[in-house]
Structure 1
Amino acid sequence: MTESYGQNFNGQQPAQAFDAYGNPIPSDAKVMATLAHLSGLLGLVLTASFASFIGPLVFWFIYKDRPGYAFVRVAAAGAFNFSFTLWLVYIATILVTVLTLGFAGIFTWVIFLAIGVALLVLHILAAIKANQGEVYTYPMTIKLLS
């Protein structure tokens, strides 16, 4: 049985997807929101968590003013805010280690590990939620973008 473009096997149009705010989601918006969350992971891998906020920031700049893509803007803003918050913790931890002449390094490795695990787990969880059309709210973030 063949399928015509935009219809399922029963000959019916697929149901329109809506975000948590009741706005219709364009067909590619869920994919873009998922990629916005996963771009934080790309930054984690490429820069050892030092610049994991750059990918979501790029997505936010691209989709912040596009009509119908509020879902992507919110996803990218959430991913940026979370990654940037953890980046600030990362920088503060490095400063404490340097200011204590390395003595704090005995404990700061735990913070670095926690940052990496949090970035990995929560970005994946947020990407899964975005793929389902749900807005994910990251815990413990400083809200810079909306």
Structure 2
Amino acid sequence: MSDFDNVTVPPPAPAGDAPADQRTLSLVAHLLGIFTGFIGALIIWLVNKDDPQKGFVTDQAKEALNFQITVAIAYIVSTILVVVMIGALLLTLVWIANLVLCILAAVKANNGEAYRYPFTLRLIK
């Protein structure tokens, strides 16, 4: 089997109830995607990835990072397609999807539920 056979299947969510500080940091990781792209989630993931007690934060920051990388790729493709006149519509749709899905993920993370973005390339494992 190759490493790419199960690319579309999201990893399982961490089990257990997350403490309030981890839920807040996960909420911030998701919301920063609206304003900073993948940079905010990358910083949160890098700071917390080696701490085994911050499993929920690490998982949600990694999920936000993967989604923001996917959004960045979609923005690049849409910008190239502006030449064909469909890119402007795609840019708007990507922006709206990013906004809605980041807010939805932030609410779920604040409730202590692990959120998995749809249509996300799982590049960071």
TM-score range, shorter chain: 0.7 to 0.9
How many residues get paired?
113
Among 86, 94, 97, the alignment partner of 1:118 is 97
Structure 1 CA distance, aligned partners of 2:96 and 2:78?
16
Select the structure with the greater relative contact order (CA < 8 A; seq sep ≥ 6). Answer: 2
Q: Retained in 2: the 8 A contact 1:34–1:131?
A: yes
TM-score (norm 2): 0.83
Among 113, 117, 120, the alignment partner of 1:134 is 113
Q: Retained in 1: the 8 A contact 2:79–2:88?
A: no
**Letter of the structure 1 residue corresponding to residue 50 of structure 2:** D
Quote the RMSD (CA, aligned, Å).
Answer: 1.5
Map Cα deviations across residues 16-48 of structure 1 (whole Å, 9 max, x no partner). xxxx633452341010000010110122xxxxx
Local SS of the residue matching 2:52: coil
Residue 108 of structure 1 aligns with which residue?
87
Residue 68 of structure 1 aligns with which residue?
53
Q: Which has the higher helix share?
A: 2
Structure 2 CA distance, aligned partners of 1:54 and 1:68?
23
1:35 aligned onto 2:14? no
Structure 1: gaps (5+ residues): 1-19, 44-51
- Please tell me whether Structure 1 or Structure 2 has the larger radius of gyration of its CA atoms: 1
Structure 2 CA distance, aligned partners of 1:72 and 1:39?
14
Structure 2: gaps (5+ residues): 1-12
Structure 2 CA distance, aligned partners of 1:86 and 1:76?
15
